[in-house]
Amino acid sequence: MIFLNSIPPPAPDDIIEWADSSGIKVDGHSFDSTRTPQLIEPIRAMADADTRIGTLVKPVQVGGSTAGEIVCGFWGAFSNGLIQYNWQNDDKAKDRWLARIKQTLESCKDIKRNGARFEELICEARYVNTTVRVQGVFNESSLDSDTVPLQINEEIHLWKPGFLGKARRRQTQVWNAKAFDISNASNKDDQLHSAYEDGTMEEWEVLCPSCGKYHEMRF
């Protein structure tokens, strides 16, 4: 019975439909994908059967943290094992945990809870089938031990060179590992730019109200 309880339920077919209807909250509000259409495909890629690494390079204030929190809630409910949620340092990790991530997880009714008194600790939540660990990466031991099947890497433009590679190596023993990189743009040829070039390099396009065609947004 204990083993059966640790098996998560089948994941919904569409993570976006799930997020829109499940009541999960981000930054205190129910998720509404129509407000952030640029996040739909990156979020979907983190729940499909093919994508192993998603790299979302975005401007400020367009909902990047929202994307990470939705994916974290979905993985927490429908996956198994350790979910590592990495920030540039422990202070930032603790701030985001207390300000947003903990509340998002608490609002996710599909996560299986065991009712333990210390189920949710400072920067860590231990559920029946998953453990969510929110941490900074500047402490090198944070990236040097556990095997990590699921990983969210935030604000990589502020990470030390080489630390994204260290995070990647925590997943080499997992055949179906997934990683979601979320960051503001950085510099050409750095670790974030290299991660972007390793992928399909898709770019969000916006509809021009004048010509009626879609264009990559440039400034």
Range in 21-25, 111-115, 158-162 with the lowest mean pLDDT: 111-115
Backbone angles phi, psi at 97, to 5 degrees: -60, -50
**Band (150; pLDDT cuts 50, 70, 90):** very high
Sign of CA dihedral 117, 119, 120, 123: positive
CB 159 within 8 A of CB 191: yes
| pLDDT on residue 139 | 67
* Average pLDDT of the residues in 115-130: 83
